[in-house]
Structures are given as structure tokens and as C-alpha cells.
Amino acid sequence: MRSSSKDATQLLIDWSQGDKEALAQLMPLVYDELHRLAASYLHRHRPDNTLQTTALVHEAYLQLVDQANVNWQSRAQFFGIAAKLMRQIIVDHARSHQAAKRGGATPKLSLDEAPELSDERAAGLLALDDALTGLAAIDPQKSRMVELRFFGGLTIEETAQIIGVSTATVKREWSVAKTWLYREIRNAGFRI
């Protein structure tokens, strides 16, 4: 990740203590990274897709700014919350598409590549979100890893840094989490 961890962390702490100027200084440090995270997820969109990278970043930014009760402690925490917000925005977008289009063939879903939010893939994304919610109830750390990797577009190394575990742990738990999610999604009637 590109932004200075020390600078961003201090600005987040200052912001959580009520320093509004800290937020103004923080955003230029993290905006490009937020945009990269959003782009990594949305890069496979159809050209006519209505959810664009900049719109996703701006919506996530607005929600991040509204996080008044968060005691910001680190840059890693910030990007973890940003990934979670992006997930929710993307899922909400998929739900709106799914509500508009019912039925059709069962979509194929890949956990190694970011799915398009096209109409034919929205149902698969919603099945993934349901399965991920179930995983969070059983193993919050694995759920967070999937969220950071799949929805946040982070690498194994970045995920390990944010969660505070080794890359070997992320690789192992990522593999277990994918297997569990594939099974849950398949049991829900989706092809994988």
C-alpha cells in the first residue's frame, strides 16, 4: 500500500479526536489507494455498468466520513472498514439489479476474480454475501480475509498486514475460506 502508514495513522487518530483538518489532510493520502481498491474489484465491469469506480470510492468516502463513533487507531483499520463499506455498496447495487430482474440461468461465480455486477451475476454476488455472513458467524477472521481480498482487492501480503498475521496464515485460511464458501454457494443452488 502506498500511503505512509505512520502519517495516515496519526491523521486518523487526530481525526477521531475531533481534528477536522486531519480529515482534509488524510484524504489525499488515501484517495488513490481507495480508488485502486475499487478499481481492482470493478475492473471487469461491462462498459455499460452503472456502478463506476469513482462513484464507489465517493460513496465509500461519504460513509467513512460518517463513521463518527469509530475510534480510529490505524491505517489498517481504516482500509478494513473501507473494504467492508465497499462490499456493502456493491452488494446493495447487486440487490437493486436483482430486484429489477428475477429469474434466469444460475450465474457462475469465481472467488479468485472479481465478478461483474451485471444482471446475470448479481444473484451469485448475493449468494456470496449470504455465505460470507454465515462464515463471519463461524470464523470472523476468515470472513474478514475474504472481504479484504475479494471485495477490497488486497493482496495476500496487504491482508496479512491489516489483520496482523503471517502471509502463510492468510494463504492457508484463504484456501479454507474459499472451500467453505464454494460449498455454501453450491448448496444454495449456484454453479461454481
pLDDT of res. 114:
41
CA 166 to chain centre: 20
Question: Where do runs of H (alpha helix) occur along the chain?
Answer: 5-16, 20-42, 53-65, 75-100, 119-138, 140-146, 156-163, 167-187
Closest CA to 150 of 118, 124, 188, 187: 124
DSSP state of 43: T
Q: Judge whether 42 and 91 are in contact, CB under 8 Å.
A: no
Domain boundaries, the chain: 5-187
Which pLDDT score is estimated for 182? 87
- Measure CA 33 to chain center: 13
**pLDDT-based confidence at residue 176 (cuts at 50, 70, 90):** very high
Rounded Cα gap, residues 127 and 91, in angstroms: 10
For residue 78, is pLDDT > 60? yes
Percent of the chain with pLDDT over 70: 73
For 127-145, b/e burial (b = at least 16 CB within 10 A) is bbbebbeebeeeeebbbbb
Nearest to 81 by CA among 16, 173, 174: 16
Q: Give residue-wise pLDDT tens across range 98-114.
A: 766 655 444 544 444 44
Mean pLDDT calculated for residue range 41-62 = 69
Q: What is the DSSP string of 98-140?
A: HHHS---SPPB--SSSPPP-SHHHHHHHHHHHHHHHHHHHH-H
